[in-house]
Structure 1
Amino acid sequence: MSKLELNNDALVRLDHGLSADRPIVTKHDLWPEVGPGMQDMHYEVELGIVMRGRMAHRNRHWVGEFGPGDVWLTGIWEPHSAEITEVPLELCMFHIYPPMLAQWKFPEYPDCNWLSFFTAPPEERPQQLSNRGDIWLDIARQVLALTPDQDRFDQLLLRPLLMRFLTELGRVWPGFEATSSIRVGTYEHIGRAIAAVFETPHRLSVTEGADLAGMNRNVFTEKFQELMGMSFAEFSLKHRLYLASHALRETDLPLKAIATHFGFTDKSHLHRSFVRLFGQTPHDYRRSNLRPVAVV
């Protein structure tokens, strides 16, 4: 592996080509062999449907068994992996740009937090639900009927399909009713602090985030946690750990150089933080040769 320089232009933000202009991307996967499947972590949230086969899906420390008609949800900066237990395993997935969900507002339900499906703890999310599998499979078939390259018109059609998915989840998930205190415009302010996190590989303090959002520190802390499901400090740390994981996979730079570049005190600080999030050391993570990130 050749040594690559780390620079701000190379910061990886979104794995699936998402942006404000392309807020939803879908994926159709077919796994023919039993064994380890995908291992991933990304900013965008993920919603998937099992169409055939079975898998064990791990989010953080929670593991669920998923079969035909089951759904799973993965949150922001959440390490997740799958073990394929019955083949062929066929999956249909939505990858969703979080700011779009954070800013979705409708007069019929003006103050709900559409991100709450993904920011609740994994064990509390509306996952599995094969008793409503006909609904999820119908949506999946409509998604797969769109053209593979998903032009602008297909992108428009994805919005009502995703909305149908989330509203059907909301019907059966009591947690959705408990998330209605987010106000219109909240993300407009918090989004400035999130953008700043993406623009630097270094640590940003809560005070700096609050200043960027134009909020009192306490208000900013409360609103950020409520909307994003984690503190600003945790969001910033997970982003830097994500960038560090990319550097471990894509370069042979020493851990000390990676730690310094991404704002950790030293390599021991990076090591401790990395183990807490990924459940393995940076050395083991690099050696495991995970699937490369798609750089966009």
Structure 2
Amino acid sequence: MLAFNNTASGRPTFSFIGIPGLEAAHMWISIPFCLLYFVSLAGNSLLLILVRAEQNLHEPQFYFLAMLALTDLGLSLSTMPSVLAIFWFDVYHIGLDACLTQMFFIHTLSSVESGVLVAMAFDRLIAVCAPLHYTRILTHYTVACLSGAALLRATTLLAPLPFFLRTFPFCGANILSHSYCYHPDMLNLACGDITFSSAYGWVFVLCTFVVDVIFILASYMKILGTIMRMGTQDRNWRTLHTCACHLCTVLVFYLPLISLAVLHHYTQDISPVVYTTMSNAYLLMTPLLNPLVYSLKSRQIQAALRKRFWVQRVIAGE
């Protein structure tokens, strides 16, 4: 089932793992995975369609939501080929270049999503703390700049990592801990001196996820301080409810990410099943849950869905 670490041409290859101990049931396990991927792709595509089609959703917070949905679509499409290839066709092997390409897109899109969450926190900060200046500060140009900055930061900081990995020899079994290529996982398989690459990886994490978490926490401390100074409790609750979708999205994204990082760097001899579960939760559940969160929590999205559903029923009735 697993491959040797080199092909006939001498280029390294890597071996994925499915769900250890359940290889015989992979075809059955693929059914819920396919359903989850389908719901994720359909949900995020629907959000993009709604934001584009509904005039009342042409606001900064929903433009950021569309960017988030587009990023989630990219994450799903980046991991789906290798995950389903394992379950459907027992294809466990991937070449170095393909693995580095998948790794680049996964980490870049994760960084972009983190940057978009920061932009959404800034949106909520202005909406709560400076509502009279909201339209003046968060213009279409500002939204484009914030989204572009998230993309530029991710691609610029991540671009060197694949080139660093290409310089290393891989001389072991090259068995990856996940169903996709993940930078710390690949780095652990390298045989050379990985000190610089490991340090750069930490710099990337500090300059993206750590900085983003600090900004989001600071934004919500300011938001909570503003809410506490408001007059009535009903108004406090309504104001806090406008932040509920973003808070849920932040938790859905960062909790699996932090858990996976902790498993990689601070635990030893942990069961491969735990790695597999956490990795799938990190890159499968986030794109799946984000559309559900906004569909259940956002009144504007609910209204747009009801309108679309009613129009479809009218057309079908005609």
**Structure richer in helix, relative to its length:** 2
**Considering only CA atoms, is the larger Rg found in Structure 1 or Structure 2?**
2
**Structure richer in strand, relative to its length:** 1
TM-score normalised to the size of structure 2? 0.23
TM-score normalised to the size of structure 1? 0.25
